[in-house]
Amino acid sequence: MKIKLSNITNLSDARFAAAAGIDYIGFCFDKTNSNYIQPFKAKEIIDWTSGIKVVAEFTNQNLEEINTICKLLQVDLLEIENDFTVDELAQFEIPIIKKINISSLDEVAFINEIELYKNSVYAFQLYSNQTSENISEIYFGLENKMIWGNDVNANNIKNIVDEYRPYAINISSDVEEKIGLKNFDELNELLEIVSSQN
């Protein structure tokens, strides 16, 4: 099972992720998000890391802006939540993670969404307004790469891994206490639980 550490805003997170063997690090380029990072700052952090796949995370940006940032940073994957058509997705030259809010879809609508995009994306990142106990297993039971996008903690991660067996788990990075200082105890605990389940 793979781990994606999203909302990277500082070098401490990126270095920790690389040292801990995390598979993907994500940078948020949605200016309305509190975790937004300027592309030039993201580039500085990316240049200090190696051996880890970089994901550019977007919400409602247009095709041109997304392509410009992805090419500037030479990222490995693109994460989007936009309702781009299949033809529009074909304009991107890197693998795509498509985010889907499963709260707004019943099971039939969800399956139709997956069928529509499954040949155009690398993986789907699913999130919901519901607690994990209320999420149907069907959302993770299809033969596609499904990334768990809801919040995880030491109390629920074992159940998520056991019950849903997602391709990957998305964990959001916390803000540094101050520049260069951060407590990684909780993240280390999550990683230990996941590795014990693999």
Domains of the chain and any CATH numbers: 2-197 (3.20.20.70)
pLDDT for residue 177: 42
Q: Which residues pair with 96 in a beta bridge?
A: 78
What stretches of the chain show up as alpha helix (H) in DSSP? 11-20, 39-47, 63-73, 86-89, 107-117, 157-164, 185-197
* pLDDT less than 50: residues of the chain: 175-182
Per-residue model confidence as pLDDT tens digits over 115-161:
999 999 999 999 987 666 567 777 787 778 999 998 888 788 888 88
Q: Alpha-carbon distance 166 to 141, whole Å?
A: 9
d(CA 69, CA 71): 5
Strand partners, 55: 26, 77
User: Which two tokens mark 32?
Assistant: 């309305």
Q: What is the pLDDT of residue 178?
A: 40
Nearest in space to 140 (alpha carbons), one of 164, 157, 160: 164
**What confidence score (pLDDT) does residue 156 get?**
85
